[in-house]
Amino acid sequence: MSLLDTITSPQDLKELSTKDLPALATEIREFLIHSVSKTGGHIAPSLGVVELTLALHYLFDSPKDKFIWDVGHQAYTHKIITGRKEQFFTLRQYNGISGFPHITESPHDALTVGHASTSISASLGMAFARDLRKETHNIVSVIGDGAMTGGLAYEGLNNLGHSNTNMIVILNDNEMSIAPNVGGMSTYLTKIITDKRYTRLKSNIWNTLDQIPASLGKKLQHLGHSIDDNLKKAFTPGKLFEDMGIKYLGPIDGHNFEELFHVLTYARDENKGPLLIHTLTKKGKGYEPAEINATKFHGIGSFDIESGEVRKESSQKTPSWSSIFGSTLLEIARKDARVLAITAAMPNGTGLETFEKELPQQLIDVGIAEQHGATFSAGLALAGQKPVFALYSSFLQRAFDQIIHDIALEKLNVVFAIDRAGLVGADGPTHHGAFDLSYLTTIPNCTILTPSSAEDLKDMLYSALYEIEGPVFIRYPRGTTPAAPPAYAPQGKKEFLPQQVKTLPGAKVLLLPVGDFLPTACAVQEKLHSAGILSDVTSLRCVKPLPHDRLYSLFSAYDTVITLENNSLINGAGAQLLQVLQQGAHRGALSHVPKLLSYGYPDRFIDQGTQEELLQELGLAPDPLTEKIIQDIRA
């Protein structure tokens, strides 16, 4: 029996000798590589923190002690140790375990996560609550250097440093982006600082200085502090944290059990107040393809272990929405140096990898900092540039106030390319783009465009940059476009009116799909026809502003209007169209008032699964959707 087979809980781990831990780490890496190669997932981050995770669970007492994993990409070993190994084949699958920590999945998951930079603030809240209840358990936040590019992390650190609260922050530095390993001096200082004898000696020295006459004692204390500060500034990168009121230890080797045990034991037993431990780790450690290309293996689909190549489930006949966006923006930017691509640490995920290689001077990566990215784009627009901020729908939520206060209020021409609108699949509720229409439609001065084809996306991007005033939001889903003729050049159209797609003589039902829901609407039209219901299909490509007069004329021709959207029904496109219908009826602008039926996402968080599985569950796949429409029409 392998060591890993004996582990079903943190208590089982504690039964092992510390000498067994390196072998266990190797087994866990082998298990992760084998398992994630089938399911896909965030393997490189998790391979990098195996030793750190084992050390934490060996020395601390979860779930009494709380581990808060920032973002959660690195939590796979944590899941294995806490009894979820046998479920790992369901990772990120429909009805399976989440790819992130989730409080409903295990008592060992102290916080549901998926977005960056939240762990320190949440941990500090837990620590304050613990102190108010006179409890003594440990609170440990594990945050990567990437998440430290987000401003929320520093807001949490600032509060922590002034709180004098007993809390541990582990900075998992897997890219050395904050500081390189400064070698023996830093290790030596860390060992001295964490040595019990040193702690007592330091306390005795300061107590002795307190007994010296005030004027001389203060001078000696000032000299001692000055020497201490300058040594840390010269030899360690932790001066920033020390100045914030947080004790800093490190950097230490995050793959060395001896170093980890030494520092974490001190943190558990001796330290008082805020403490930051800086660990250096190798992203993708133990799997050569992931070590060589950590970006590729940060989040990956199923792959071949030997080659490291992603398995292709089916031939991709058309380009992805992301690639159409990226190639079109590159085409425009080649001719106009004012056009700048902005990304929040995701050039590859948003289709900008080729842009970055060809026009690096026109691409700005602001880090995992969507709030900053939005206001940064506002500054660019005010200075005469043409910023295009490409980000995922779920991450756009983080910049809501900046969109209102810094962009829309001033009617600045900032273009937002909203990728992953709608259901994203395996990453689940923290990543579905289910709400952008609901909140963006409330903001004045904005234009919201929803392309139904690659040609639409090209035209919309061009018009957003050169023909439409104010902020423009272009939203499109994960996946491939319905069609993409490669020779199609972007054209300015300024207005994107409802576009008639398929009509049937005598139709009294109108299917009005929003953007990429067009193929579903066409499939539903055929099924309705088979059931004896004639319908027309018109694509809604602009959700704001809506062309009221055009819609009044359109609505008047039908008995039933059906809206389909990949967004929450609450304040979504259907709700906007209902307002138009009500206003038209009130004003007498419609010759005939139809029934309006809207279909979209329900008022709940949607779980993980493939897009097809989730659409089936929600009743938005063609077959169940057609059945529901027939019932509602005949009701």
Whether the CB-CB separation of 67 and 78 falls below 8 Å is answered with yes
The residue annotated as part of the active site, out of 66, 79, 232, 398, is: 398
The residue annotated as part of the active site, out of 282, 283, 386, 544, is: 283
Say if residue 251 is preceded by a cis peptide, omega within 30 of 0. yes
In this structure, the number of other CB atoms found within 10 A of the CB of residue 285 comes to 22
Q: 104, exposed or middle or buried, with CB in 10 Å at 0-12, 13-18, 19+?
A: exposed
The residue annotated as part of the active site, out of 66, 130, 285, 370, is: 370
- Is 370 a residue of the active site? yes
Cα 92 from Cα 42, distance rounded (Å): 10
- 115 labelled as ligand-binding? yes
Whether the CB-CB separation of 343 and 391 falls below 8 Å is answered with yes
- 174 labelled as ligand-binding? yes
Task: List, in sequence order, the alpha helices (H) in 82-236.
Answer: 119-132, 151-161, 184-194, 196-211, 214-235
**What single-letter amino acid sits at 218?**
K
- Write out the two tokens for 184: 């023996």
Whether the CB-CB separation of 236 and 181 falls below 8 Å is answered with no
Cα 258 from Cα 80, distance rounded (Å): 22
Nearest residue to 535 via CA among 579, 583, 594: 594
- 287 labelled as ligand-binding? yes
> Which CB contacts under 8 angstroms, 24+ apart, belong to 36-39?
36/76, 36/91, 36/300, 37/302, 37/303, 37/304, 37/305, 38/89, 38/302, 39/88, 39/89, 39/90, 39/91, 39/92, 39/93, 39/302
- 73 labelled as ligand-binding? yes
Cα 74 from Cα 72, distance rounded (Å): 5
Helix axes 214-235, 184-194, angle to 10 degrees: 140
- Is 105 a residue of the active site? no
Say if residue 498 is preceded by a cis peptide, omega within 30 of 0. no
- Is 494 a residue of the active site? no
Cα 609 from Cα 611, distance rounded (Å): 6
Helix (H, G, I), strand (E, B) or coil at 142: strand
Cα 2 from Cα 538, distance rounded (Å): 61
- 445 labelled as ligand-binding? no
Cα 167 from Cα 139, distance rounded (Å): 5
- 110 labelled as ligand-binding? no
- 456 labelled as ligand-binding? no
Cα 346 from Cα 106, distance rounded (Å): 30
Pairing outcome for strands 167-173 and 139-144: parallel
Query: Which residues touch 483 (CB under 8 Å, ≥6 apart)?
Result: 318, 453, 454, 455
Pairing outcome for strands 247-253 and 139-144: unpaired
- 145 labelled as ligand-binding? yes
Cα 415 from Cα 357, distance rounded (Å): 21
Cite the annotated binding site by residue number: 73, 114-116, 145-147, 174, 287, 370
| Binding-site annotation: residue ranges for thiamine diphosphate | 73, 114-116, 146-147, 174, 287, 370
Residues with a known catalytic role: 283, 370, 398
